[in-house]
Structure 1
Amino acid sequence: MNKLILRGPQSDIDVSLTIGGSKSITNRVLLIRALSGNNFEIENLSNSDDSQTMMNLFADQDQHIFDCHHAGTTFRFLTAYFSLQKGEQILTGSARMKNRPIGPLVDALRSLGAHIEYLEKEGYPPLKIRPFNKQKTKDISIKADISSQFISALCMIGPSLKQGISIKLEGELVSQPYLEMTLKIMSDFGIKSNFENQQIHISSQRYESKKYLVESDWSSASYHFAIAALKPNSKILLNHFFEDSLQGDSAITKMAQSFGVQTTFNGTSLLIQSDDHNLNEFNYDFIEQPDIAQTIAVMAAGKGISVFYNGLKTLRIKETDRIEALQNELKKINVNLIKSLKDHWEFEQFGFAKINNPVFDTYQDHRMAMSFAPLAILGNICINEPEVVSKSYPDFWDHLKEMGFKLEVK
């Protein structure tokens, strides 16, 4: 197991960086390209492991067994995609993937007419998938409070179904910006949809083929907001970001103001700068931006700011149980994340985080590694399994070096 000793920069940070394309947008456009049947050009593709896995699987469809490894989005999107393809496919993944629920998506696809069999545990990967014989119905319902990726997968195959698709969403919709992203990207390729009153209607249509530019990844950018919050006099310029972004995690620009970080757009460049403004507490519902909850938690701990969270329930079924992982690792810096009410969490914290050469575990979760890395500004830290960042942001450690961080692999 690799260990990374991380030391913060001694001088002010003033750097320009280019982060790879959004993983979320890339994976959606890759699926749309496959469904369109035309190999149109995609610019600024994500270089994340997840997107590379998806590209490789699409490029080699002569195989029978498809291994998605840790890539949850890839698994969910390909489950829907293979339901429409010829032949029998087996879709599998890592040990963690086999513990991430897929049942609601499978149930919905079966209702449409797909033939899907669980090969191990009911409701979980791996799957044996055979194609539709005939579409049974266009009307389905699905729980909306587990993963928006299930709904996005169904939406994207909808135009390829002879009857189209009508989806009734049951319960509170989690990560709504990701669903809105899906529908907007579909519209970029000529697909008309209607989403209102917990109902989505998509008729049978054809995807247009066109060259597509992928915006850089806001989830990856969030760690640089944390760095600017913890390091005074920071200036970090990020390229290929849009002020009118499709990505829900662009909300970090507003959140970060509470932690002394200001942002300025200039065309497709984003300047992140430290200032002296800080709040004493931060209250936020992460139901729409779950992927930056860890970043904000660690940033708040480093700044000595009390937090009051809700909307974290989807963190239980991510790459790891992110709530439990956060609790375990924050304790190492004398910060306790406790549940105060149903789905409400807060810090039981007095003063600032205490950095005394902590060793942080990452739980095979890329976001755990990157969320805790900025704490090196406050004192030396050690991160186990630092290579996990390749899942979404392979250049992360190189970018920290450019800022002046010192890295030593043990």
Structure 2
Amino acid sequence: MTLSYPGGPLTGHLRLTGSKSIANRALLIRALTPGGFEIDGLAAADDTVRLQQLLESDEEVLDCGPAGTTYRFLTGYLCRRRGTQILTGSARMKERPIGILVDALRSLGADIEYAEKEGYPPLRIGYSALDRSDRVSIAADTSSQYISSLLMLAPTLPTGLKLTLEGEIVSLPYIKMTLALMQHFGVHHHWEGQTIVINPQYYQARSFTVEADWSAASYYYSLAALAESADLKIDGLFAESLQGDAVVQQLYEEFGVTTTFTETGVRLQKAAGTPPPPLFEHNFVECPDIAQTLMGTCAGLGVQGLYSGLQTLFIKETDRVKAMKTELAKVGVSLYKIPPHMTEKTGVRYFAQEGRADFAGGTPRFATYHDHRMAMALAPLALLHPVEVEHPEVVNKSYPDFYRDLQTIGLTTKEA
């Protein structure tokens, strides 16, 4: 698909899709709630649709495809479902480690076996009371989805759960999101240092509406930053959000994009002639899903980038750092790891980005690596020059209306 923009101020009004992260947690909690409850605003994202179908399925083999959140949430949930299921996924899913979560569940008494390669999907999961212990420790810098899978299961366990997070906690907003949603449905918790304590209790059925997705909003912030001037209205976003990616509104202030909250969402504005910053520096440890978006913005504006907190990006749908390095190089922008000896005092792993997107070679053809965020993070560069996106359908994973919404604000799309 080729994306392009005729030029001029960027204006428009749209309503965003619901948050996949919130929707998936609400679906899992509903499955654990006696009697269930209604959920409004469920995203049409492939991951959410797939999770809903698998939770309702009585098939012996459950295929999560490329959906990592779905796989990890179901790994915990199936331990409490009667019978034995094979939980599998796509070829890429079988390359994504699951051993940390499996070890934690086994320590509680889970009946889980690796059906193929040790430490990786697929899994054979049988029912267990999970009453061997009420304590488990897990590395705090591991995927928050492992931690959330355990947390949502915790109140259903015979003696509850004391979950200790060892080391530096990454993706804390996603853990807080899970706990806040559990609280909404009547499940209480408390912290004892880095241990989350959840006693045995029941989820309480309550109707629920999914808020719009701030990570999806990040692409419009990028578009606004790259535009000569911008005035966009986006419905469904609110100031009081459970999502860590809501920080995007503060980050883009550095690029001259202001956010005003309205009764229905937000208004993004950028005045003509606003200069970009010479340097953008950020630690993405609490908002890794918007890192690629900022990389794309910095590339388009020629802003030097200095990034840290990217460790969880290496085990996503693809190695996102490596993929962005490859694709940005197509327009003359370099992304590279700063040598360890230059940061040995801090122990922090930094990546630097330099250069401004150069389209002298014609229309770049960006690969997407089966990764929805690759497509959406690079699409805003179309404001500067036509770009081609391979396998554009990958956006269906989280935001199937992405290209339709781009057309709403004036971009043009042409099928290859």
Question: What corresponds to 2:174 in structure 1?
Answer: 178
Aligned-residue offset at 1:133: 4.3
- Cα distance in 2 between the residues matched to 1:78 and 1:384: 31
- Cα distance in 1 between the residues matched to 2:119 and 2:47: 22
Aligned-residue offset at 1:301: 0.8
Q: Does 1:300 align with 2:298?
A: yes
Question: Any idea what the Cα deviations from partners look like across 1:10-58, whole Å, max 9, x if unmatched?
Answer: 3422211111110000000000000003231111111110000001111
Question: What corresponds to 1:387 in structure 2?
Answer: 393
SS in 2 for 1:21: coil
| Contact 1:257/1:277 (<8 A) preserved | no
Question: Any idea what the Cα deviations from partners look like across 1:299-321, whole Å, max 9, x if unmatched?
Answer: 01111111110000110000000
Aligned-residue offset at 1:278: 2.8
Letter in 2 for 1:22: S
Q: Does 1:7 align with 2:4?
A: yes
* Identity value in percent: 47
Query: What is the aligned counterpart of 2:383 among 377, 386, 401?
Result: 377
Question: What corresponds to 2:282 in structure 1?
Answer: 284
Aligned-residue offset at 1:134: 5.2
| Contact 1:257/1:278 (<8 A) preserved | no
SS in 2 for 1:90: strand
Letter in 2 for 1:16: H
**Equivalent residues, number:** 404
Letter in 1 for 2:153: I
- Cα distance in 1 between the residues matched to 2:98 and 2:353: 32
Query: What is the aligned counterpart of 1:136 among 126, 132, 139?
Result: 132
Question: What corresponds to 2:357 in structure 1?
Answer: 353
Aligned-residue offset at 1:196: 4.4
| Contact 2:144/2:174 (<8 A) preserved | yes
In structure 1, list runs of 5 or more residues that go unmatched: none
SS in 1 for 2:32: helix
| Contact 2:234/2:266 (<8 A) preserved | yes
Question: Any idea what the Cα deviations from partners look like across 1:194-251, whole Å, max 9, x if unmatched?
Answer: 1342111000000000100111001111000000001122111111111011000000
Aligned-residue offset at 1:145: 1.1
- TM-score of the aligned structures, taking structure 1 as reference length: 0.97
Question: What corresponds to 2:53 in structure 1?
Answer: 56
How do residues 173-212 of structure 1 correspond to structure 2 at under 5 angstroms? 173-212=169-208
Letter in 1 for 2:390: N
How do residues 47-126 of structure 1 correspond to structure 2 at under 5 angstroms? 47-60=44-57, 62-126=58-122
| Contact 1:259/1:303 (<8 A) preserved | no
SS in 1 for 2:163: strand
Question: What corresponds to 1:25 in structure 2?
Answer: 22
Q: Does 1:224 align with 2:212?
A: no
Query: What is the aligned counterpart of 1:315 among 313, 316, 319?
Result: 313
Query: What is the aligned counterpart of 1:148 among 134, 144, 147?
Result: 144
SS in 1 for 2:120: coil
Query: What is the aligned counterpart of 2:236 among 235, 240, 264?
Result: 240
| Contact 1:118/1:124 (<8 A) preserved | yes
SS in 2 for 1:83: helix
| Contact 2:8/2:228 (<8 A) preserved | no
- Cα distance in 1 between the residues matched to 2:131 and 2:6: 59
Q: Does 1:39 align with 2:43?
A: no
